[in-house]
Chains A and B, each alone.
Chain A
Amino acid sequence: MTTELLAVRGLAKAFGLSNVLEDVSFSVMPGEIVGLLGPNGSGKSTALNVISGFLPRSAGTITFAGRDISDAPVHAITDLGLVRTFQLPSMPHRMTVREVLKAGKRDDGGRFAPVAYGPEIDVLLQEFRLAHVAGHAASALSGGQKKLLSVATALRANPKLLCLDEPTAGVHVSLRSDLVGVLRNYVAQGGACLVVEHDMLFIRDLCTRCIVLDRGNIIADCLPGELENNPRVVEAYLGKAIEKGGMAQ
């Protein structure tokens, strides 16, 4: 029997009187790519923030790789192998793209060892089509390139579970299939993904399972192909898209 990599049980999060998450439970198994979907304000990013330790939970438990991480600090959660990216990645002004990538793997070669750029940095730069901007200030990248850099940097941290918050927003269509390839390759090598995303084509191409949130509750946990036949999902999230001509649009 395969043990769960991430197990979320009865997770709740309130901001004052507003309950953003109510009794959310789900799990991610090794080798899975799980899409976390839902309309704006459904609690997807909040769920990611709580799971990754950036926000304290109001109730519930989170276990990762067999360890209770419900109240663990962010760096301890990352040390266990749960690494995340952000919806709006902000990048440093006075560090180059290459330096940011290098910083993705902490203390690579020794804590106080001089910074050395190994060939794996160049491979990632090529893979994410960032080689031509490797020496540029990371803040000077376009929004889409910043997204790619944040995913590449997170991959450098060698995560067991990579949590991505809208990785394709602002990324050119031609690069999305590359991103799918890179993430599939990462999962094939033993990783797992939890992806918050609005782009249904990306979700269909990438994910093995989808969880749909609406107003802080899970309303569906199914295969990507089953989404459009789920009336609760259609009503909560996809109704307007279907009216305009189908989910894929």
Chain B
Amino acid sequence: MSDFLIHVISVSCIYGILALSLNLQAGFTGLMNFGLIAMFGCGVYGAGLVHRFGLPVALGPALALILAVLMGLFLARLGRRLSTDYWGIATLSIAEIARIFATNLEPLTGGAQGISGLPLLFSGLRPWDGAARLALFAVILGVAWLICERLVRSNFGLGMKLIREEPQLARALGYDIDRIRSTVMVIASVIAAVAGVLYAHYLSFVGPELLLAPETFLIWAMVIIGGIANNRGVIAGAFAMQFMMAYVPFVKDYFALPSDFVAAARLMLSGGVILGFLLLRPQGIFPERVGGRHDH
């Protein structure tokens, strides 16, 4: 397999994990999180900060976990005071605030220059290091998928779906909506942070440009294209979007377009996919499977 293909599949796996995290929130619980990238940032900067201050690498995931739990709880707490649409706007604002902090807190985060030189995973296995990383990412994607599937197929998952669609009915049946939303936010935040730690050690670099808002909308595009509330679908969506993104530079070269084209085309691709699917096939390529095996 070519290095390029290994790279694209590796990044697809990381984005697949992020898509699963967003799907848990938006797809199954109706939590329209437009600041998912802040959860991812907890993982990225968890790994980065540990490296910057010379602490053991193994502490990176631990710090990421703590930051992710706090971020999940904070966003869930915010949701108690806001309706879901206003909460969505608030999450976007929180993610932007987090990015601005990362850019300006130079003594802590390295500012706009970021933190570089993070240990690359499996670097001692050259020339098989790329394949080893890919295998690790694929396994973690599989584990994340398994966790999400078990969760949504459990009694807790039934409560998530009821809250998503009929919160009033859920309340009347005794579901503690705040508690369920908080639990989902923490689980989803931890999953996104795991993707962040992997990405930081894949790029060997951490910087505020990893937390740009368009990244959140790219993940939204993956979820929408694949099929909201379908875990397999959103992983397929992540792969489809990443492959499309990866081939944009080839299109630029083929048509001899200016280099600005790549960034603009990627943004247009995210926006176009979201718009096109919402208008023409809002359920995505793989729609949610309504009901269990008893109902088919």
Contact = CB atoms under 8 A, between A and B. Distances in A.
Interface of A: 52, 54, 73-75, 78-79, 83-86, 89-96, 98-100, 102-104, 106-115, 117, 134-135, 137, 150, 153-154, 157
Max chain B Cβ within 10 angstroms of own Cβ: one of A98, A112, A115: A115
B159 interface: yes
B157 A115 contact: yes
A78 B159 CA distance: 15
A94 B288 contact: yes
B258 interface: no
Given A112-B154, A135-B294, A95 B173 contact: no
B292 A99 contact: yes
Contact of A86 (B168, B288, B295): B168
B295 A113 contact: no
Nearest to A79: B174
B291 A99 contact: yes
Contacts of B177: 75
Contact of B171 (A54, A94, A96, A100): A54
Contacts of B288: 94
Contacts of B229: 94
Contacts of B168: 54, 86, 90
B253 interface: no
B158 to A, nearest CB: 5
Nearest to A107: B155
Given A92-B166, A96-B291, A114 B154 contact: yes
Q: Which 7 A-B pairs have the closest CB atoms?
A: A78-B174, A92-B165, A135-B295, A96-B291, A75-B176, A74-B171, A103-B158
Interface residues on B, range: 20 to 34
Contacts of A109: 155
Contacts of A84: 172
Given A74-B172, A92-B162, A154-B173, A98 B155 contact: no
Given A78-B172, A98-B291, A114-B153, A93 B159 contact: no
B126 interface: no
B174 A100 contact: no
Interface in B144-190: 150-151, 153-159, 161-162, 164-166, 168-177
20 contacts: A74-B171, A74-B172, A75-B176, A78-B173, A93-B165, A94-B290, A95-B161, A95-B291, A96-B295, A98-B295, A100-B169, A102-B158, A111-B154, A112-B151, A112-B155, A112-B156, A115-B158, A117-B294, A137-B290, A150-B169
Nearest to B154: A112
A243 B207 CA distance: 80
Interface string B49-76: 0000000000000000000000000000
B118 to A, nearest CB: 35
A154 B172 contact: yes
Given A79-B174, A100-B162, A135-B291, A91 B155 contact: no
Given A96-B290, A99-B291, A135-B291, A83 B172 contact: yes
A98 B172 contact: no
Contacts of A107: 155-156
B81 interface: no
B290 A103 contact: no
Contacts of B166: 90-92
Contacts of A153: 169, 173
Contact of A103 (B151, B173, B295): B173
A111 B162 contact: no
A99 B293 CA distance: 11
A103 to B, nearest CB: 5
B136 to A, nearest CB: 27
Contacts of B156: 107, 111-112
Contacts of B154: 111-115
Contacts of B170: 103
B81 to A, nearest CB: 15
Contact of B155 (A54, A111, A150): A111
A84 to B, nearest CB: 5
Contacts of A75: 171, 174-177
Contacts of A94: 161, 164-165, 229, 288, 290
Nearest to A134: B295
A83 B173 contact: yes
A112 B150 contact: yes
B76 to A, nearest CB: 16
A12 B169 CA distance: 25
B127 to A, nearest CB: 43
A83 B295 contact: no
B159 A106 contact: yes
Contact of A89 (B164, B169, B174, B176): B169
A147 to B, nearest CB: 13
Given A94-B161, A134-B295, A85 B151 contact: no
B174 A103 contact: no
A174 to B, nearest CB: 26
Contacts of A91: 166, 169
